[in-house]
A and B are shown apart, each in its own frame.
Chain A
């Protein structure tokens, strides 16, 4: 992580990258996560602010919207939208506030360091996720761009579908090890079982 500070930053999973056949599990570092909270009544005004500032409106809950430069808004709660964008340093909330300009009625919280981010890509991704995830991930139900917060093996997880076989998973940093272990367990089993008659 690029830093001019005296302290070395450390990614939650030490930059994990592992292959299981065609499945790739990889930690995405340098991801900033800022929550935008607002009163429910202000939703339209906030959406307008965002549209003009970054080119993306507030998504409905369960959906996401993408700004011109790739910043993604996740509709996770009725009055709280999560912004995910690439940002190498800290103070992501200040960086976002600067981009938005007008922030009255908007309350920003930097959550970047609270979450570890994993990317899962490959043919077997659904076979692996169905061992872990109590959500219906069928393409008719959980489409590209859909997002949901749920639990896997007793840890919180936020799931974003980026493609037919491409998911981004975010889980709390302190239990990242257990989370990665659960995925490793499922991926190992799925990959091995495909070889059994």
Chain B
């Protein structure tokens, strides 16, 4: 598999490490001074960490370019055809 790094071009997938669904970028906010055991927070983190869609088709996922520029990337990949239609720096996505 080849991953189209937005800055470096096509690179072999063996340079990367896969983490999981890009929804991991949306970590719930923990307000200053909050009670860490608060049930609303618990539910939010549970959903964040454990509940996933599992699409047969387009999937947005996180890859780490460990043997490359060490950037975290958000790759849009079709899980049935493996076609990759988008690849952006996670940092750019989150900073927007």
Beta-carbon contact of A78 and B69 below 8 Å: yes
Q: For the complex, is A148 an interface residue (Cβ under 8 Å from B)?
A: yes
B70 within 8 A of A: yes
Residue of B nearest to A76 (CB): B69
> Which B residues lie within 8 Å of A40 (CB)?
91
- Cα separation A148 to B8 with both chains bound (whole Å): 9
Does B28 reach chain A (CB closer than 8 Å)? no
- Is B58's CB within 8 Å of the partner chain A? no
Q: With A and B bound together, what is the CA distance between A134 and B15 in angstroms? A: 9
Q: Are B8 and A62 in contact (CB under 8 A)?
A: yes
- Specify the chain A residue showing the minimal Cβ separation from B7: A61
* Proximity bits, B8-26, A CB within 8 Å = 1, else 0: 1001101100000000000
Query: How many angstroms from the CA of A117 to the CA of B71 in the assembled complex?
Result: 24
Check B67 for interface membership: any CB of A closer than 8 A. yes
Asked if A149 is at the interface (CB within 8 A of a chain B CB), the reply is: yes
Give the interface residue-count category, chain B: 10 to 19
Q: Assess the B69–A134 pair: CB atoms within 8 A.
A: no
- CA gap between A61 and B8 in the complex, in Å: 8
B window 35-76: CB within 8 A of A: 67-71
Interface residues of A in 149-189 (CB under 8 A from B): 149-151, 156
Q: Give B23 Cβ to nearest chain A Cβ, in Å.
A: 24
- Report the minimum CB–CB distance from B62 to chain A (whole Å): 17
Are B7's CB and A149's CB within 8 A? Answer: no
Given the contacts A134-B15, A151-B15, A78 and B8 also touching, CB distance less than 8 Å: no
Q: Can you sample 28 A-B contacts with CB below 8 Å?
A: A40-B91, A61-B7, A61-B8, A61-B69, A62-B7, A62-B8, A76-B69, A77-B70, A77-B71, A78-B69, A78-B71, A78-B89, A134-B11, A134-B12, A134-B14, A134-B15, A135-B11, A148-B8, A148-B68, A149-B67, A149-B68, A150-B11, A150-B15, A150-B68, A151-B14, A151-B15, A151-B67, A156-B67
Chain A residues with CB under 8 Å of chain B are 40, 61-62, 76-78, 134-135, 148-151, 156
- Of all A-B residue pairs in the complex, the 3 with the closest CB atoms, nearest first, are A151-B67, A134-B12, A77-B69
